[in-house]
Each structure stands twice: as C-alpha cells, then as structure tokens.
Structure 1
Amino acid sequence: MSPRGDKRAQLLAKAVDDLAEHGIADLSLAPMAERLGTSKRMLIYYFGSRDALIAEAIAASRPDVSDLFHDVRDTADLEKAAWVLWEAITRGRQRRPIRILFQVLSLAPTQPERYAALAADAVRAMVEPLVPVYRALGFGELEARSRASLLISGLRGLCQDRIVTGDDERIEAAADVLIRAAAAGENRKS
C-alpha cells in the first residue's frame, strides 16, 4: 500500500471510532479532524466530503456478510453463521461501529435527502449477499429475500434494542428465536 493509502486507511479507522463515539447527526469535519490529529483540509483531501467520509465509514465498519455466510451448506451452518454475525455486532469487533449504521438508519426518515440512499445501500449490502445462500438451501426467490431480510434486519433491530435497554437476557433469547426461525421452516418456491 502507498504511503497515501496507509495514511488514508489509518484516518478511516480513526474516523470509524470517532463516529461511533461522537455520532454523525451534528458532525462537523473541523472538530472531528482535531480529535483525529489532522486537519479538515486533509479529511477533504482523503475522503472528498463529510457525506463521503460517512459512507466509507459505514462500508468499512459493517460485517462482511458474504464472508460470514460463504460456507453455509445447510440450515445448521446457517444458524452457526448467524450466531457469528450476532456475536460480531453485540460483543465482537462490530460492536461499536454498528452504532454508525444505527444513526444513519435513524436519520434517513427525517433527512432523506442526506441519508436515505446511504441507509438503503447499507441495508442492501448486508441483505443481498444472504439471498443466494437461502436460494442454495432450496428457498424460492421471494422466500429467500424475505428470510434474508428477516435475519439481517431482525438481528440489527435486536442489537439496537440491546444497546438501548441493556436487557441482555431477553435480547439473547429473542436472537435465538429469530435465528432458529430464519433458518428453519419449509422450503417454499416463490
């Protein structure tokens, strides 16, 4: 990697941490740059704009669903992979960065011109890679898309509930129910 690429990657990693801690709603690049030990000019040089930086931070911080689910051959594998995803967003390396996604999803309905496309892309980037997994398990197109949405959006919602309420026992039990439901059932062709 070039020195510019190294510096950019380092700034992006720091930006992800900063956004997870300080949020995006009132994000101004000058204070962020100061916290990151750089300048607003350098953030613009490396990322182009505030919105581009946020988009890259979301992309860099979300779990790689394709990678997590690529070895799924049956419903037992699907459950295991779903638990790996759940662990990543609740206790693992995605635990803090997923807060950025929650912020974008929360802002999209009230500031659609700024966040709607970004939020929709983030959701698609996590749901779409799971659709072929469900198809390979014998589910028809609509059922595959529905189950992929159920699993990803359900886990994301439970994770947010866990952060907000701190009710770990209830949420862990709900995650178990959700994962089993998303992996089980009849294979209906749609």
Structure 2
Amino acid sequence: MTAAGPHGSGRERVLRGAIEYFAAHGIGDVSMRGLAAALGTSHRMLNHYFGSREGLLTAVVDAVEADQRELLSTLLRDRETDSRAALRHYWRQVSDAAVTYGPLFFELSGHAMQGRAHAVSLRESLIQPWLEPLELIFQRRGSDGAQAAVQARISLAVARGLLLDLLLSGDRAGVDAAMGHLIDTELGAR
C-alpha cells in the first residue's frame, strides 16, 4: 500500500470512487460539485485531476473499458475453462455494465468521432486494445493472423452493436440470444 492509499494515486482513488458512484446511482446530470461532495473531495480537485466534467466522464469510460479488457484477458489466460460458458459469463458482465455505462460510452464515442478534446484519447482506447485479445480467441480456434484480425474486428463490431441494441430496445433476451449464437458459432472453443 502506498501513501496514496489502496487504490493508488489520488486521481485513481477519485476515479474509482466516481465509477462506484455511477454504478450505484447512474450517470444522470450529476454536477462536478455534487459528485465531489459524494466522493468526499472538492470540485477543485476533480477539475485538477480531470479538467472538466467531460474529462472525468471520458476517464470513467476509459477505466471501465480497461477493466473489461482485463477481465477478458483473465478469461483467456485460463485455458482449462469451458470457453463458451466463460464467454457467456463475460457477456453477462459486460452487458450488465452497459446498462449503466453504455449511454455514456456511446455519447463519448460520438465526441471522439467529432474530435472533441476531452474525448480524443478514446480514439486510441476503444478499438485497438480490444483487437489483440479477440484475435487470440480466433487464433486458438485455428485462424491464421490475417483471418483472426478480420474476425476480431467483426466480433467487436457485433458486440458493440448488440450493446446498442440492448440500450435502445431493452430486449435482453433477444440480445443475449444473438450473442449466444455468436459465441456458439464463432467464438467458442472447437
């Protein structure tokens, strides 16, 4: 444990607190002052760490994405696990998180596409870091490097599309069935 506490730096501790706050209360229209009070810090410190509300929200999306990639990497390290069951479990965790963070994810993805300064870092973190672990899944299934790269990109696009579908339609059963089909036909172990 460091002087900054069990969660690392002050910035990291505040970021983790914000993620927990948003998970419990949703994103909504919480102000920086309201969030600061809930986190036991000051509006000034939030601005110091993140620059703006949008900067904080971008950091939240980036951190949630990194956590989900780490969860996927952990799943891939355990080669003894039934990959279909593990991927279904992973999908459930990701889609549950999307209910809270998905609207923010898609909104800030739009900001990144528009080149807004607070979201430009997402251009680097929302696609490329996902491709390598997904390529590994396909390589383990016997695809060569180029084919695995294409399959990884398609799978990421389908997963993101299904998350958008879930947020818009609320059809959990339909979205889960579609992902189950993808897992059974494309992602699960042979």
Q: TM-score, with normalisation over the residues of structure 2?
A: 0.72
* 8 Å contact from structure 1 (residues 61, 98) kept in 2: no
Tell me by how many angstroms 1:18 deviates. 4.9
Which one of the candidate residues 42, 62, 70 is aligned to 1:39?
Answer: 42
Which one of the candidate residues 85, 88, 96 is aligned to 2:93?
Answer: 88
Tell me by how many angstroms 1:27 deviates. 8.1
SS at match of 1:134: helix
* Aligned position for 2:77: 70
Tell me by how many angstroms 1:168 deviates. 2.0
* 8 Å contact from structure 1 (residues 66, 130) kept in 2: no
Counterparts of 1:100 and 1:89, CA distance in 2: 14
SS at match of 1:4: coil
* Aligned position for 1:129: 133
Counterparts of 2:151 and 2:85, CA distance in 1: 16
Percent sequence identity over aligned pairs: 25
Q: TM-score, with normalisation over the residues of structure 1?
A: 0.72
The unaligned stretches of length 5 or more in structure 2 are none
Counterparts of 1:40 and 1:100, CA distance in 2: 21
Paired residue type of 1:12: L
Output one character per residue of 1:115-172: Cα deviation in whole Å (capped at 9) or x when no partner. 2441441222223222233223321122111222222331222122112211122212
The number of residues matched between the two structures is 179
Question: Cα–Cα, structure 1 residues 125 and 170, in superposed 2: closer, same or farther, change >3 Å?
Answer: same
Counterparts of 1:161 and 1:139, CA distance in 2: 29
Counterparts of 1:73 and 1:22, CA distance in 2: 38
* Aligned position for 2:178: 174
* 8 Å contact from structure 1 (residues 104, 119) kept in 2: no
User: CA RMSD for the aligned pairs?
Assistant: 3.3
* Aligned position for 1:161: 165
Question: Cα–Cα, structure 1 residues 164 and 3, in superposed 2: closer, same or farther, change >3 Å?
Answer: farther
Counterparts of 2:77 and 2:182, CA distance in 1: 20
Counterparts of 2:93 and 2:174, CA distance in 1: 18
Which one of the candidate residues 60, 64, 86 is aligned to 1:61?
Answer: 64
Counterparts of 2:178 and 2:94, CA distance in 1: 15
* 8 Å contact from structure 1 (residues 17, 97) kept in 2: no
Counterparts of 2:120 and 2:102, CA distance in 1: 17
Paired residue type of 2:125: D
* 8 Å contact from structure 1 (residues 131, 145) kept in 2: yes
Counterparts of 2:73 and 2:129, CA distance in 1: 9
The unaligned stretches of length 5 or more in structure 1 are none
